[in-house]
Structure 1
Amino acid sequence: MGHDHSHSHGITASGTSTGKHRKRLVAVLAITLAVVVIQLIGALVSGSLALLADAGHMLSDAAGVFIALLAAWIATRPASDQRTYGYQRAEVLAALANALVLIVIAVLIFTEAIRRLGSTPEVHTDIMLAAAVLGAVANLISLLILRGAQKESLNVRGAYLEVLGDLLGSLAVIAAAIVIMITGYQAADTFASILIAFMILPRAWHLLRDVVDVLLEASPKGVDVKLIREHILAVDGVVSVHDIHIWTITSGMPVFSAHVVVEDAALGARGADRVLDKLVTCLGQHFDTEHCTFQLEPVTHAEHEARQHA
């Protein structure tokens, strides 16, 4: 006997976690693209590799935000017999693309910086400093826009982390410009670009790790399967539980399923409904999981079940 409970199986334009915050992402995208243009011009005029690195990083952020918005739109497409969860995983794939782009950008920046170490060109610090300050202000505004939404979506979180890295990168460029202005040490620009590359990689790795967890259908962070099992066993009439699975379809959408062995006396029409209602209420209240499926089994049938999972 199976039972599924969910308040809604349809996905609206704002149904996914990223979709709910698409206006924030659009605003950040517009700000980021404007600053990229200014920093690219500033880098070409000033000859600053650090400023070019910061512009390249921000361009990758803009591409990532665009991919996230596109994925949020794709995720609103309805489910079908071929894709029973619709296209909601598109958001996770977009986050994967973001992480890979960040890694590529970091490698390119580092390679160019190493090439420049032997012969650092002269940098015009006034243009470099002005463009970097503008970038820092824009990044700070973008952080404030995304701060309230970054805990709800992998894509919004990815954008938030990228903008945070951009802010740190802009600060590094500002510091390099000041050092060059005061001491004339031109290599400060190259070392700032290397620092930006090293700031990008850890953030890319953490995002990539989270995406891999979703794609491998690992249990969501903070979910204690042992505790869930204890709650299920505490329901009247439940004898045992096996084949527990809990995974994430996309950000903010955990899914749960389990085989629950129930006393034969509790499997009458009204009794089964009461057991299912208690199980669904338990998962919803204690573990914030509304989309759950239970297969109720009589004790006499339990011996036929192959227990190969949790």
Structure 2
Amino acid sequence: MAHTHQHSSGDTNSRRLLWAFAITALFMVAEVIGGIISGSLALLADAGHMLTDAAALLVALLAVRFARRPPNARHTFGWLRLTTLAAFVNAIALVVITVLIVWEAISRFYHPQPIAGWTMLIIAFAGLLANLFSFWILHRGNEEKNINVRAAALHVLGDLLGSVGAIAAALIILWTGWTPIDPILSILVSCLVLRSAWNLLKESVNELLEGAPHSIDITVLKRKLARTIPEVRNVHHVHIWLVGEKPLMTMHVQVVPPHDHDALLERIHHFLKDEYRIEHATVQMEYQLCHGQDCDLNEHGQHDHAHHHH
């Protein structure tokens, strides 16, 4: 049902991401070379920032490509998890780069380096234009963009700030000759990078550990389901996890024996899809109350989990 229009938007998403990735990667290389030639750490930090972008765009691109690969007997969910793994590796790489840049910045306070202001200014300005162009490419058009394209656009927006910072630093160096502005700005840019890396790390680890998506509170879901569908008496053994960005779910539902088993099942599926956008749920319907330790365990476990979240 939902898959008919996906391919066309998948293709445009894919093309957009490819363009943005090519531009970003190209300018990242330019900034690295420029940073080395001009001796500017702020440019190198911004290149680090651009690397986060290039990596984010690449992950997004792979996600769009892999999402199209059909599942097979070995990979029954297809290849969507690969994007999560890529995001995880990306996040770790970012943390390492940030640490290296901050380390270098601190040493530069003690041993200032000469900086070629004009080279720095020209490259930072070119980087700004490249970022604006990528941002425009990602934001053009109005058809639904997947979360990867949105995330990539946010990344590029963060990058714009990095480029503006590098331009400001270059101007200050040209006007006043005060070089410490360069390591100061590189530390600021590194903090931006670290923030996005940390979020990425948290999300990808949660997904790799089969964590429930943060947007879904299981206790609330169970209460809502029982309220919405009167035949539902009890909900237990609830498991929700993510593959790619698709939430998957299994649960046991104790119900009043219905006249029409399939119709009730259909209503439960509709509820999950409309309320929580869960399209892939395995629901086991039971007429007897769940006995045994495990039902109880599941109830308590869920409550603890909910409190822990708040």
| Match for residue 244 of structure 1 among 238, 252, 255 | 238
Q: Does the aligned pair in 2 maintain the 1:75–1:91 contact within 8 Å?
A: no
Equivalences for 1:112-127 in 2 at 5 Å? 112-127=104-119
Q: CA deviation at 1:286?
A: 1.9
What per-residue deviation string (whole Å, max 9, x for no partner) do you get for residues 259-305 of structure 1? 111223x2xxx611121111111112222222111101122x63368
Q: Does the aligned pair in 1 maintain the 2:48–2:98 contact within 8 Å?
A: no
Show the counterpart of 1:89: 81
Q: CA deviation at 1:118?
A: 2.2
Q: Does the aligned pair in 2 maintain the 1:11–1:77 contact within 8 Å?
A: no
Are 1:136 and 2:124 matched, yes or no? no
| Match for residue 198 of structure 1 among 156, 167, 191 | 191
Q: CA deviation at 1:132?
A: 0.8
Task: Please list every run of 5 or more consecutive structure 1 residues that lacks an aligned counterpart in the other structure.
Answer: 1-6
Show the counterpart of 1:4: none
Equivalences for 1:55-204 in 2 at 5 Å? 55-147=47-139, 152-153=146-147, 155-204=148-197
Task: Please list every run of 5 or more consecutive structure 2 residues that lacks an aligned counterpart in the other structure.
Answer: 303-310
Show the counterpart of 2:221: 228
Q: Does the aligned pair in 2 maintain the 1:13–1:73 contact within 8 Å?
A: no
CA distance in 2, matches of 1:53, 1:191: 11
CA distance in 2, matches of 1:134, 1:222: 39
Whichever residue aligns with residue 233 of structure 1, its letter is A
CA distance in 2, matches of 1:190, 1:26: 32
Q: Percent identity over the alignment?
A: 39
What per-residue deviation string (whole Å, max 9, x for no partner) do you get for residues 5-28 of structure 1? xx57x999959x987722221111
Whichever residue aligns with residue 271 of structure 1, its letter is D
TM-score, length of structure 1 as denominator length: 0.83
Show the counterpart of 1:297: 286
What per-residue deviation string (whole Å, max 9, x for no partner) do you get for residues 148-174 of structure 1? 799843x44553343233222111111
Secondary structure of the structure 2 residue equivalent to 1:21: helix
CA distance in 1, matches of 2:87, 2:150: 9
Secondary structure of the structure 1 residue equivalent to 2:213: coil
What per-residue deviation string (whole Å, max 9, x for no partner) do you get for residues 44-87 of structure 1? 33222211222243234324433442354344333233322122
CA distance in 1, matches of 2:57, 2:242: 22
Q: Greater helix share, 1 or 2?
A: 2
Secondary structure of the structure 2 residue equivalent to 1:302: coil
Secondary structure of the structure 1 residue equivalent to 2:240: strand
Distance change (3 Å), C-alpha of 1:139 and 1:231? same
Q: CA deviation at 1:106?
A: 0.6
Q: Does the aligned pair in 1 maintain the 2:158–2:192 contact within 8 Å?
A: yes
Q: Does the aligned pair in 2 maintain the 1:29–1:66 contact within 8 Å?
A: yes
Q: CA deviation at 1:185?
A: 0.8
Secondary structure of the structure 1 residue equivalent to 2:110: coil
